Chain A
């Protein structure tokens, strides 16, 4: 395969993935709700329920007290979509992670644009969530930099031993999924029975639909990054050739994403909501040292050449 046809193939795959991304994210959220229901011995909603919800929200009228709410909801949607663009074009991991964090900031701004007290409480908690998760994600990106020499997802996707060097990335990604998909014990900002959806409390109709669709991209992106740490292409492609290897890799990544989602939903169902101050404590006292030790070990191997 010459260089040109490879470029065409990769760009076609990127476009196809980007078109499918919101649908796959929506499916993941629907499957998550079904899993949750089955764990509680319920039948649960149809898998396409998030689709029905958004279709309904799009035909509802708008009750926003402040036009900024709509702008912020749109920004949340756009930045999540941009992060997915960087992800599916196999771009820069660091930029993807920072864009996901930036999108969350717009949820906080939507909260501050509202006038309800719950909206402000939720916005502050959302900032706390970003503060707790983003340093860990950046540490993981630094780990990838140390192992691969760059931040490119293209190289990350071809490194089949990354999971052996960076096992802490799995913990961090599960933690990030819990926090940003608003699952227990870290669903602080939209704690629905406590502060009635926090920063989203004044959103309705189309604006709420935009936030929901932003979550589709976000779910796809985070599960995608999670599954990026499990690669088989370099192991399989010498035996089968490139195209079957990519197909096998995509199947493996789907299975990995499914089990990641299962773990997230299980933790959600098995735990109760933490008090807000426990989230940064958990992040900085437990998660950060684990990732730091991991980074020190791989630095000793790749930078200092100790073993």
Chain B
């Protein structure tokens, strides 16, 4: 399975405080060197296999996020990095925050932490690809794909800015 050997990541920051973004960038440095697993940070959704999101979503970023996700070629996976992206974190009851990324997109892997450690982020990418592999194998056997939970009721308003 070559997808696991060459995951290309596109990184999107919802409303992050940039703490997690700095940890994502740290994963590219010689200390963590994600390229040794074939992981590349591509600034282009059409090239990417994994959408890596940091920070919670508000109505504005939800639109961009949806757009990025739709431009990615199948098979694809979504990873959420950090507490805010997972649940809304300390911002969960702000008037402009929709909540975690799973309110907008089907999320495959949640990487917890405030901020998440680079090791955890790398582990998250590898786990997500394992899930994609399982999905593809299930599809090949003709079974229903093991879907992550569907976006809940508090979804982003379609195409609109609140």
Contacts and interface: CB of A to CB of B under 8 A. Distances in A.
B74 interface: yes
Interface stretch (A48-56, A124-132, A239-247): A48-56
B133 to A, nearest CB: 11
Q: Is the interface of B mostly helix, strand, loop or mixed?
A: loop
A52 B38 contact: yes
A202 interface: yes
B6 A49 contact: yes
Contacts of B36: 37, 42-45
Contact of B38 (A46, A62, A205): A46
Interface string B1-40: 0110110000000000000000000000010010111100
Contacts of A196: 43-44
B6 A56 contact: yes
Given A49-B38, A197-B44, A201-B46, A60 B33 contact: no
Interface string A51-67: 01101100111110000
Interface in B77-113: none
B41 to A, nearest CB: 9
B73 A40 contact: no
Contacts of B60: none
A44 B2 contact: no
Contacts of B74: 60-61
- Interface range on chain A (Cβ under 8 Å from partner): 20 to 34
In this complex, the member of B3, B33, B46 whose beta carbon has the largest number of chain A beta carbons within 10 angstroms is: B46
Nearest to A194: B43
Contacts of B47: 197, 204, 208
Interface residues of B, number: 21
Contacts of A192: 42-43
Nearest to A118: B44
B46 A193 contact: no
A299 B155 CA distance: 74
Contacts of A33: 35
Contacts of B2: 52, 55-56, 59
Interface in B25-77: 30, 33, 35-38, 42-44, 46-47, 49, 71-75
A43 B33 contact: yes
A41 interface: yes
A196 B5 CA distance: 22
A203 interface: yes
Interface SS of A by simple majority: loop
> B3, B44, B71: which has the most chain A beta carbons within 10 Å?
B44
A202 B44 CA distance: 9
B3 A56 contact: yes
B35 A42 contact: yes
Nearest to A41: B30
Given A56-B3, A60-B73, A60-B74, A202 B46 contact: yes
A193 B43 contact: yes
A42 B46 contact: no
Contacts of A45: 35-38
Interface of B: 2-3, 5-6, 30, 33, 35-38, 42-44, 46-47, 49, 71-75
Given A63-B72, A204-B46, 14 more contacts: A42-B36, A45-B35, A45-B36, A53-B6, A59-B3, A60-B73, A63-B71, A63-B73, A192-B42, A196-B44, A197-B42, A197-B44, A202-B46, A208-B47
